[in-house]
Structures are given as structure tokens and as C-alpha cells.
Amino acid sequence: MAATIYGDVSRDMVLHFKHGGRIALAGPMGRTIAARIGDRVRGDAIVVPVPLHRWRIWKRGYNQSAMLGKVIAKSLGLEFSPDLLIRTKPTPSLGGLDPKQRREALKGAIRCNPRKADSIRGRDVILVDDVMTSGATSDACVRALKKAGAKSAVIACYARVLHAQPVPKNETPETERPRASA
């Protein structure tokens, strides 16, 4: 479930949050996602962010999905497990890739942390991401969660791209292309 559709305003927020270092946006974005989830989850659900590879975290300085997940868990009074899923190999930026290329890039890249696997067995999971484009990342995460014994997985993101089209590689707030106004 998405808090909003990926459009001009949500796009700007996501890009500033994800690539522009505007980490203060985690609060309002996370609370918006939590409000959208509402009463749709049980009290024993666990909030799990989409993982980034350690090199990507090192480069960016943070995992934006983990920041959103922490806010969501606090807002809903749920357990938060930022390291339940791990990205075992670096993947290229998925921007600019078509859905098939995204799935291929993620093949074998996401697993459940073996030290945490018991914590999700038989439980509902809220999988948090900032944007859902093709669903390839979410699919890879859900496969890993189900393999580890999760009862169900609800995908919660801030923005959902309705018609997945490749986003130009390395598009950031500073390099974004001008958009035609209606």
C-alpha cells in the first residue's frame, strides 16, 4: 500500500530525502505511510525496511527505508527490525533499468539475516520502502521473508509509480530534468 502516487510533489520529496540528505523528511513521510496502514495490521506485526548493501549505506550515510520504518513502527506501536533482511551483494542503481533488468539485478541479492530468522516465523511483516516502481525489489524481499517463514508481507511505501517507466540513472534533486508544466 502506498501513501501517495509518485508525481511531481512526492517525487521531489523522495529525491530530496533519498539523495539530497533531507533526513528530516523521514518523520512526515513515515507518519503519512503509518496513517495509510491504519488498522490493517495486527499488533504482533514486525516492521522491516528494504535493505541496502553496506557500500550503498556507507556512500549515502543512511538507509532511507530504515528511517521510514522506524517512524512507522513507533507510530503504530510495532516492533522494528532494521537488520532482518540483508543485501548480500551490491546491486546497481535500478534507475534506468526495465522491470526484467531490475529482477535480474536483484537475483540472489536479498536474504533473511540468519540471526534474525526466528523472529519472523509465523508473523505478519510490514515491508517498508520509499518508492515502488516495478515491484522487483519488493518481490525479492517478500521471497526472502516467506522463505524464512513469515506468515504474510504487506508492502508499505511512500510513493507508488503507476506506470513503471525507467527513471534516468543518477537522477537526483540537483540533476533532475525539467518537467513540462500542464
Domain span holding position 142: 2-160
Q: In the chain, where does DSSP find H-type helix? A: 8-18, 26-37, 54-60, 64-76, 99-106, 136-147
Contact 10, 157 (CB under 8 A): no
Rounded distance between C-alpha atoms, residue 80 and residue 89, angstroms: 23
Structural domain includes residue 37: yes
Structural domain includes residue 167: no
Structural domain includes residue 177: no
For residue 174, pLDDT over 90 is answered with: no
pTM, 2 dp:
0.85
Structural domain includes residue 175: no
Mean pLDDT value across the chain: 87
CATH of the domain at 108: 3.40.50.2020
* Per-residue pLDDT tens digits for 144-172: 999 999 999 999 999 999 864 455 555 54
For position 182, what pLDDT does the model report? 34
Structural domain includes residue 50: yes
Number of domains in the chain: 1
Which DSSP state fits 168? P
Structural domain includes residue 111: yes
Structural domain includes residue 31: yes
Structural domain includes residue 150: yes
* Per-residue pLDDT tens digits for 124-142: 999 999 999 888 899 999 9
